[in-house]
Structure 1
Amino acid sequence: MQPHPILLYRRRWTLFFQVPFAVLMAVLTAYAIFMALVFDDRLFTVLFSFAAFCTFCLAWTLGRGALEAHKNREPAVVIDETGITDLRDEDPQPVPWEAMERVRLDSEDRIVVRLHTSDKVSALRVISQALQRWQQGGDVVVSLAGLAHNPHILQRTLSTFHKAAAASAQTPR
């Protein structure tokens, strides 16, 4: 029996921490701009201008991330009978279970997938795949950072879907 599909959403409770910090950075940006304009000393003007730039960058990054998390209510990752689909990509394509040699949830909160390799692949392609696997840990890596999930249920679901796809591929037609 196939397990239920898993839809992974962004953690929305982190907004409670992110929004006040973004507001604090915006206030510090305004204060640094004010101090840069008040001082006549060139060194203090440069230091406060640099501080204003840094705090503005932090406020912008955190504020934009919080706004996107608040507005985006669709799932970020879908794990179902067709495969694993990361909807955060520009062109989300599911990675089908039949194409996976191995799938696992690693200790860095990522889904790491190793795909089947073909015997007809060129040597250059084999080397590039080996380098990619060495660098990333697998052929396809889906980061789960910032997504609400239960690792035990997720690992069990991944292995169930993968075993079901492997069993259906081995049965004669």
Structure 2
Amino acid sequence: MSLKPIALYRRRWTLVFSLPFAAFMAIVALYSLYFAFAGGDRLVVLIAGGSAFVSICVGGTIGRSALEALLDKAPAVVIDEHGLEDVKSGDGVIPWRDIAEVRFDSGRDQILVRLGASPPGGSQPTNGAMTRLFTGADITIPLDGLSYHPIKLQRGIAGWLRQARAEIAAVARASRPSDPGFL
């Protein structure tokens, strides 16, 4: 059975809300700056300056995030025959042969990966000890802000892991020395 690669992209429909809000915050910042420079009273200047600062910080953060979502056409997470790849973090591919267990946690919107014995000379980036204690995973891949169907994602991850384990077992059987016929 040939499985299709799973690619998770950023949600685009949230731009409908975040771009107008960022534009509104830019207008509030300009209006506040006008009052900060035009107002003669210290209290008005202080309130208007604080309002401008908050508007620039909040609007800039939301606007930048919205622009990244609008311009970023590449998938954020890829699950295929090579393994799991969190493109957002840039940590590279986690090969299936290194994965002992992988599961989708729909409550926390993340993929939890528990690694097997580490490969010689190789090391995967792992979470801290506290995260491992609470989630039971060595690596977590956050899915916040990504568009996916939970059941299809869970079935796809299970299918890829099952297929990878079957291929690993077949390679192990093929590389096993043949029985010489004596004890």
In the other structure, the counterpart of 1:7 is 7
State the SS of the aligned residue for 2:43.
helix
Matches within 5 A, 1:18-97: 18-89=18-89, 91-97=90-96
Offset, 1:16: 1.1
- TM-score, L = length of structure 1: 0.86
State the SS of the aligned residue for 2:36.
helix
Measured in 1, the distance between the counterparts of 2:135 and 2:152 equals 24
Name the CA shift for 1:129/1:169 in 2 (closer, same or farther; >3 Å). Answer: farther
| Structure 2 alignment gaps of length 5 or more | 121-126, 175-183
Aligned AA (1:47): I
Aligned length: 165
Name the CA shift for 1:36/1:71 in 2 (closer, same or farther; >3 Å). Answer: same
Measured in 2, the distance between the counterparts of 1:2 and 1:24 equals 49
In the other structure, the counterpart of 2:110 is 110
**What does the per-residue CA deviation read over 1:14-45, in whole Å, with 9 as the maximum and x for residues that have no partner?**
11111100000001101111122232221221
- TM-score, L = length of structure 2: 0.82
Measured in 2, the distance between the counterparts of 1:131 and 1:109 equals 18
User: Higher relative contact order at CA 8 Å, sep ≥6: structure 1 or structure 2?
Assistant: 1
Name the CA shift for 1:33/1:129 in 2 (closer, same or farther; >3 Å). Answer: closer
**What does the per-residue CA deviation read over 1:78-134, in whole Å, with 9 as the maximum and x for residues that have no partner?**
110111111112x4411111111111111111011010135x9xxxxxxx9644412
Using the TM superposition, name which of 69-78 and 150-159 deviates more. 69-78
| Structure 1 alignment gaps of length 5 or more | 121-127
Rg larger for: 2
Q: Which runs of 4+ in 1 moved over 6 A?
A: none
Aligned AA (1:117): A
State the SS of the aligned residue for 1:111.
strand
CA RMSD of aligned residues (A): 2.1
Measured in 2, the distance between the counterparts of 1:135 and 1:38 equals 54
Offset, 1:168: 2.5
Mapped contact 1:25–1:59 kept (Cα < 8 A)? yes
Identity level (%): 40
